[in-house]
Structure 1
Amino acid sequence: MPISETWLLPDGVADVLPEQAQVIEALRREALDFLATRGYQLVYTPFIEYIESLSSLSESNQDLDLATFKVIDQLSGRLLGVRADMTPQVARIDAHVHPVEGVARYCYAGTVLHTKPQGFNTTRAPLQLGAELFGSDSIDADVEMVDVMLSLLQTAGLADGIHLDLGHVGLFRSLVAHAGLSKAVERQLSDLYQRKALPELAEFTQELKFGADFYNLGRYASDLDALQANLSAEIFENPEFKQAFDAVKQTQSEIQARWPALHIGIDVVELRSYHYHTGLMYAVYAPNRAAPLAQGGRYDGIGQHFGRARPATGFSCDLYALCAGQFKQIQKVVAPKGTDKALLDAIADVRAQGLSVIQLLGNDDLKSVPNATHQLVNVAGEWKVEAV
């Protein structure tokens, strides 16, 4: 490759230019300030650490493991991982670094890195923002997290027309355990549910124990009343299944009470990240966007890897995706060169109003400042800001 081309960025990585960077940064500050008002404390986590510290989720989530860049530490010779998700790091903080008693709430914002894009037309270096709640296995904690997620999107001006999807891995897992299915059959069923392949599901479940229940779980996945009417009584007598079913209904009811205009959909066989989620899962979608604006779920026991298993629930989003297509013109006020006190005071006053003021250098003139929008001019002895 010619030297002139070596500066080009890898696929899935891009610069963020000023007109969009200020939109993203404004949203980051606004979002973190909002989370602080809800009691979520900000933490910073290292961009890279020993792979063992990042494996609390990756051991049970092969997708996360495959998304993690791994390098050898030149100092210790040990394997390092570049964070692909900040949740394991916050779990480490809760379990090992800052082990408070009772409920702990944390929030974060930082760049993560993926070996491959995680979706169509997505970046490999998202700016991940999220919140995590540790120490409560109550439905109230899940409801709070969903409410915080929706409120954050409302704060960002993205609440119009959004759709909330609710699911729960407990229904599928408890049915699999009740039927005594092998891991191979479980994986095949999970794939069929994910693809919404009802004809294949009908054929595959014919020979399974509780096959009709497995089929109806997929067929009526979005209608809890129809699901209850078509599943066998034996399944609803299973305490794990009943608990998961009631959790979805209660969460839907409580979120609807808080957000009466919100469209809420149910999909009890939406099994994304199935291997590490342990309970309720949720995702928010917007019109004309294939990927969710934000998503999360319950992942109890995540701190076990660090010696302190805790119930946990949380969500995250990509600030780059939230701000996609949003640009803001930068207001640039150009001031003349000089050290006159009145001029310097005028510059300070304009900057105090939140505007960007650039004072000319040397023999520069207005043309030397690209995209200048205003200038500071002296009118009858008074400095004023005028449009260019």
Structure 2
Amino acid sequence: MTYRWLLPEYCEDILPEDAWALETARRKLLNLFKDRGFNLVIPPLIEYVESLLTGTGHDMDLQTFKLVDQLSGRLIGVRPDITPQVARIDAHSMNRADINRLCYAGPVLHTKPDVLSQSREPYQVGAEIFGLSEVTGDIEIQTLMLDALSELEFNDVILDVGHVGIFRGLMEALQIDSKTENDWFKLLQHKDIPSLQSVTQGVTAEFRQALLSLPKLNGGGEILDLAIKSLPATPKIMVALEQLIAVRERFNNRVKLSFDLCELRGYHYHNGLVFQVYSADYKGALARGGRYDEVGSAFGRSRPATGFSLDLRQLITFKR
């Protein structure tokens, strides 16, 4: 017997109470973004796969539903993430010379839920700044992210910050090949210090000690002072530490801060500060963001970029 009312696994209707809550929250966030000078864009649900997945990495490719376009015969995908679409709009459709602040709100579709308690159809809301390379852009986005969560009544939160430039600076200084870099990256993600000790035996003492110290450099703002003493003063590392210190100075009296110099989330996508917000009573991150300069180069225009996003559907479900 066919039950025509059944939906695919991890897909569900949003019924009136939650639907109104989501719509009310969406309006609040978009009004906030508008007040801060961000312009709303609404990208299409489907795009050609090669543009849809630009710069997103292998994991997002696996999360993308793909089908053949009956008009062109080309492979298209249902968007799993709106951020690359907004980068395309900035680089091609708008093509501004000045700083461009864009925001968005809409559903995305994943082949599998990120965790078993989530829907395969998150409702992604976010904001991006293009054309601003200074750390002030990252701080502006982090401020907006915290204010957005405050609008959703998430106030007792932790801002967790890392910087992929530190690990990249070490790899460049050592002139490490891509395979070795990827192997060491995986060990750092698992904070596997014994294995890291084994594979770095041939590395000069200063840089080996720096690599081994990264998994331990996590905690409050004081770890940045320790990092200055522990890490080689290469230009890329010093810039990264200066940006982390700027974040500490801006938010130290507003929100609880946590720094993790081994946090390399989105390493093949981000190229600077990465950040996420946590709450003691919420499993997982409330919102995530980071700097992803040069992503627009695939669309013919390379620009500095930083932004954040959150799954409004999941946050509203948690609050009910």
Could you tell me the TM-score, scaled by structure 1's length? 0.78
Alignment counterpart, residue 124 of structure 2, candidates 104, 123, 128: 128
* 1:171 to 2:169 alignment: no
Matches within 5 A, 1:31-50: 31-50=29-48
Return the structure number with greater relative CO, CA threshold 8 A, min gap 6.
Answer: 2
For the 8 Å contact 1:166–1:252, the answer to whether it is kept is no
Higher alpha-carbon deviation: 110-119 or 273-282:
110-119
Give the number of aligned pairs.
315
Matches within 5 A, 1:229-308: 229-231=229-231, 235-236=232-233, 238-256=234-252, 260-308=253-301
After superposition, give the CA deviation of every residue in 1:230-283 in whole Å (9 maximum; x if it has no partner): 33xxx21x1111111111111221122xxx141000011111111010101110
- Cα offset, 1:42, TM superposition: 0.7
* 1:204 to 2:203 alignment: no
Return 5+ residue gaps in structure 1 as ranges: 328-388
Return 5+ residue gaps in structure 2 as ranges: none
Note closer, same or farther for the CA distance 1:166–1:75 as it changes in structure 2 (3 Å cut).
same
The residue type equivalent to 2:16 in the other structure is P
Distance 1:147 1:50 in 2: 34
- Cα offset, 1:320, TM superposition: 1.2
For the 8 Å contact 1:205–1:212, the answer to whether it is kept is no
Distance 2:109 2:270 in 1: 21
1:90 matched to which residue of 2?
Answer: 86
Alignment counterpart, residue 57 of structure 1, candidates 40, 44, 55: 55
- Cα offset, 1:9, TM superposition: 1.6
Note closer, same or farther for the CA distance 1:252–1:120 as it changes in structure 2 (3 Å cut).
farther
1:368 matched to which residue of 2?
Answer: none
The residue type equivalent to 1:14 in the other structure is E
* 1:191 to 2:186 alignment: yes
Distance 1:162 1:85 in 2: 25
Distance 1:288 1:196 in 2: 25
The 3-state SS of whatever aligns with 2:201 is helix
1:342 matched to which residue of 2?
Answer: none
- Cα offset, 1:120, TM superposition: 4.5
- Cα offset, 1:17, TM superposition: 1.3
For the 8 Å contact 2:10–2:120, the answer to whether it is kept is yes
Higher alpha-carbon deviation: 199-208 or 168-177:
199-208
Matches within 5 A, 1:342-361: none
- Cα offset, 1:155, TM superposition: 1.4
The 3-state SS of whatever aligns with 2:51 is coil
Distance 2:22 2:203 in 1: 51
The 3-state SS of whatever aligns with 2:319 is coil
For the 8 Å contact 2:101–2:130, the answer to whether it is kept is yes
For the 8 Å contact 1:119–1:291, the answer to whether it is kept is no
Provide the alpha-carbon RMSD of the alignment. 1.5
The residue type equivalent to 1:95 in the other structure is A
Distance 1:230 1:314 in 2: 30
The residue type equivalent to 2:82 in the other structure is M
After superposition, give the CA deviation of every residue in 1:346-370 in whole Å (9 maximum; x if it has no partner): xxxxxxxxxxxxxxxxxxxxxxxxx
Larger Rg: 1
For the 8 Å contact 1:278–1:300, the answer to whether it is kept is yes
The residue type equivalent to 1:212 in the other structure is Q
Note closer, same or farther for the CA distance 1:326–1:92 as it changes in structure 2 (3 Å cut).
same
For the 8 Å contact 1:110–1:128, the answer to whether it is kept is yes
* 1:213 to 2:206 alignment: no
1:23 matched to which residue of 2?
Answer: 21
Distance 1:225 1:204 in 2: 28
For the 8 Å contact 1:57–1:64, the answer to whether it is kept is no
For the 8 Å contact 1:198–1:218, the answer to whether it is kept is yes
Q: Which runs of 4+ in 1 moved over 6 A?
A: none
Matches within 5 A, 1:92-107: 92-107=88-103
Distance 1:199 1:324 in 2: 41
Matches within 5 A, 1:157-168: 157-159=153-155, 161-168=156-163
After superposition, give the CA deviation of every residue in 1:203-229 in whole Å (9 maximum; x if it has no partner): 333333422211012222441222222
Could you tell me the TM-score, scaled by structure 2's length? 0.94
For the 8 Å contact 2:218–2:258, the answer to whether it is kept is no
2:226 matched to which residue of 1?
Answer: 226
For the 8 Å contact 1:293–1:317, the answer to whether it is kept is yes
* 1:76 to 2:72 alignment: yes
After superposition, give the CA deviation of every residue in 1:328-379 in whole Å (9 maximum; x if it has no partner): xxxxxxxxxxxxxxxxxxxxxxxxxxxxxxxxxxxxxxxxxxxxxxxxxxxx
The residue type equivalent to 1:282 in the other structure is F
